[in-house]
Chains A and B, each alone.
Chain A
């Protein structure tokens, strides 16, 4: 969905490096999410934010941190990258609603390789 953009689209880094993945949206949604997807598996929630001042851990937050710089921007950081963080990362946004009732709009993904 062009309304949700992610940068970079591909990234190769080395173990121990700090990296940041960025997400921007023009949908005007308050809620934003970061997921990771491993080959052949579904998506797992890393962090989510309901507004600029509200950030919550998801299912697999260890080793990650986030920053919600503005309503439209939500960044994911790997403080010290490790090989098992190699995955496809997706950012998503949604309007209001209970979990599973809202519609989430996903970005194109960032493919991360940690050597």
Chain B
């Protein structure tokens, strides 16, 4: 499984754009990149998924450079309710689900 590395924590203020970068140097050809959001005492929630270039939905954008060794989750104009832990997940379709792990995530704190 491609190991992912994310910052442990980030701080921001309401209304700012937040970019969280995930490194996955060993990403395989068939791997997709998925981001989840988790609030305290709740299960993770899917945010966005991509394979290459840019993906945008109503919640966030995901930027993936050509070499795919990293990805950046972009949250536009964050609010207090965006305070959560964000997980970058890279799936390895060849080795199976046994090694599917979420990692420790990035703890985002949004202040007024």
Q: What per-residue 1/0 map shows which CB atoms of A76-102 lie under 8 Å from chain B?
A: 000000000000101010000011110
Is A100 a contact of B98 with CB atoms below 8 Å?
no
Nearest CB of B to A19, in Å: 20
Q: How many inter-chain contacts with C-beta < 8 Å in the A-B complex?
A: 83
Whole-angstrom distance between the alpha carbons of A85 and B19 in the complex? 35
Is B102 a contact of A59 with CB atoms below 8 Å?
no
Whole-angstrom distance between the alpha carbons of A57 and B100 in the complex? 11
Interface residues of A in 12-54 (CB under 8 A from B): 33, 35, 40-45, 48
Of the four ranges (under 10, 10 to 19, 20 to 34, 35 or more), the interface on chain A belongs to 20 to 34
Is B45 a contact of A58 with CB atoms below 8 Å?
no
Please, which residue of chain B has its CB at the minimum distance from the CB of A106? B43
Give 13 CB contacts A-B under 8 Å.
A40-B104, A42-B102, A42-B104, A43-B102, A45-B98, A48-B97, A59-B98, A90-B43, A98-B32, A100-B90, A100-B92, A100-B100, A109-B43
Besides A59-B98, A99-B95, 6 new A-B residue pairs in contact (Cβ under 8 A), listed by A number: A33-B97, A48-B97, A56-B97, A90-B44, A99-B93, A107-B43
